[in-house]
C-alpha cells in the first residue's frame, strides 16, 4: 500500500510558491503528493514534474468543483466550463504520471436543493453525457477518473456508494471508476467496509480521512474493518490524507471547515502517516 497526502493539508490554493511542500512530504516518509488543482495557472507544471522526480514522489491529481465547474448545471456555458476543467485536469494527470483524477466530477460542491424529479433527471442526463466525453479523454491519456460521493451537506446528487455505482454503470466506460472518502462515507453509509465491498473493483482511489476530518486514527472509524474490506477486494491503489489546514474562504464555506482540525498541519500529516503505517503496512 502506498500512502499520500494532499496539498490541501497545508495550502489553498496550491501554487508554485508552495513547492517546498514536496521536500517536506518526502522527508515525512510519504510516497505520494496529491495535488489539488484549484487554479491550474498558478502552478508551474514542468517545474513540479522535475521536482517530484527529484524527490522520488509520485503524484495523484484531485479536483476542486466550484459553481462555475458544474457539468450538470442548467447553464450550457457552465457545463462547458466544467467539462473543460475536467479535461484540463486529466491532461495534467497524464503530464504528472498520475494514474487517477478524482473528485466530485458530477456537480458543484455546495449544490444542495430539493428539485423536481424532472429536473433531477435533466441534471443527471447532462452529467452522464459530459462524463462520457470526459472518459474518452481519460482513455486517450491513460488516466482513470475517480467519481467521489460527497455527504448530503455538500451535494444533493451523489451521496452514497450505490449512487456512484449507478452513474458509473450508466456511463459504462472503464476509465470512469469510483473514489471513496471515508469522511463522507462515515456520514452516509451504514457500514464503510460494506460500501467498499459493494464498490469492489470499481474502486480506484481512497482518501482515508477520519470521522471529523482530523488526524487519522484519532476518531471513531472502524479502521480494522476498512483494512479488511480493502484486502478482500484486492485494492492496490493509494491511501491519501485529504483535509484542510488553511482553506480559502470559498473552500471553507463549501466543506464547512470552521475550526482547526489539528494542532498543526505538520502534526496531522506526521501522525496520520504513522497511523497509516501501523494500520495498513
Q: Spell out the per-residue pLDDT of the chain, length 281, in tens.
A: 999 999 999 999 999 999 999 999 999 999 999 999 999 999 999 999 999 999 999 999 999 999 999 999 999 999 999 999 999 999 999 999 999 999 999 999 999 999 999 999 999 999 999 999 999 999 999 999 999 999 999 999 999 999 999 999 999 999 999 999 999 999 999 999 999 999 999 999 999 999 999 999 999 999 999 999 999 999 999 999 999 877 667 777 777 777 778 889 999 999 999 999 999 98
pLDDT for the residue numbered 215: 95
Rounded Cα gap, residues 141 and 206, in angstroms: 21
Residue 258 has what pLDDT? Answer: 78
Residue in the block written with cell 451537506: 153
Q: Catalytic residue among 38, 188, 210, 242, which?
A: 242
Which of the following CATH numbers is that of domain 2-280: 3.10.129.10, 1.10.3720.10, 3.30.460.20, 3.20.20.150? 3.20.20.150
148 noted as active-site residue = yes
Query: What is the model's pLDDT at position 166?
Result: 98
In the set 94, 148, 189, 271, the catalytic residue is 148
The SS3 of residue 53 is helix
Q: Is 170 a catalytic residue?
A: no
Copy the grid coordinates of residue 171: 456511463
Domain ranges of the chain: 2-280
For 25, the grid coordinates are 512530504
pLDDT recorded at residue 87: 98
- The residue with cell 483524477 is 101
Amino acid at each position: 500500500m502506498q500512502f499520500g497526502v494532499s496539498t490541501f493539508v497545508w495550502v489553498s490554493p496550491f501554487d508554485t510558491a508552495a513547492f517546498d511542500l514536496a521536500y517536506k512530504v518526502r522527508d515525512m516518509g510519504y510516497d505520494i503528493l496529491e495535488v489539488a488543482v484549484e487554479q491550474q495557472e498558478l502552478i508551474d507544471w514542468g517545474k513540479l514534474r522535475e521536482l517530484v522526480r527529484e524527490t522520488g514522489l509520485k503524484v495523484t491529481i484531485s479536483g476542486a468543483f466550484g459553481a462555475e465547474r458544474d457539468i450538470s448545471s442548467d447553464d450550457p456555458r457552465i457545463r462547458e466550463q466544467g467539462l473543460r476543467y475536467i479535461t484540463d485536469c486529466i491532461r495534467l494527470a497524464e503530464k504528472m504520471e498520475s494514474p487517477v483524477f478524482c473528485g466530485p466530477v458530477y456537480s458543484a460542491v455546495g449544490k444542495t436543493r430539493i428539485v423536481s424529479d424532472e429536473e433531477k433527471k435533466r441534471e443527471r442526463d447532462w452529467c452522464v453525457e459530459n462524463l462520457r466525453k470526459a472518459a474518452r479523454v481519460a482513455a486517450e491519456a491513460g488516466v482513470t477518473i475517480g467519481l467521489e460521493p460527497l455527504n448530503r451537506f455538500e451535494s444533493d446528487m451523489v451521496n452514497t456508494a450505490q449512487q456512484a455505482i449507478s452513474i458509473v454503470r450508466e456511463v459504462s466506460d472503464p476509465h470512469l471508476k469510483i473514489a471513496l472518502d471515508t469522511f463522507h462515507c462515515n456520514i452516509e453509509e451504514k457500514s464503510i467496509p460494506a460500501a467498499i465491498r459493494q464498490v469492489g473493483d470499481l474502486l480506484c482511489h481512497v482518501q482515508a480521512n477520519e470521522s471529523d476530518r482530523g488526524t487519522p486514527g484519532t476518531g471513531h472509524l472502524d479502521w480494522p474493518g476498512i483494512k479488511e474490506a480493502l484486502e478482500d477486494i484486492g485494492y492496490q491503489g493509494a491511501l491519501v490524507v485529504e483535509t484542510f489546514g488553511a482553506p480559502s474562504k470559498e473552500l471553507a464555506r463549501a466543506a464547512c471547515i470552521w475550526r482547526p482540525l489539528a494542532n498543526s498541519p505538520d502534526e496531522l500529516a506526521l501522525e496520520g502517516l504513522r497511523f497509516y503505517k501501523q494500520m495498513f503496512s
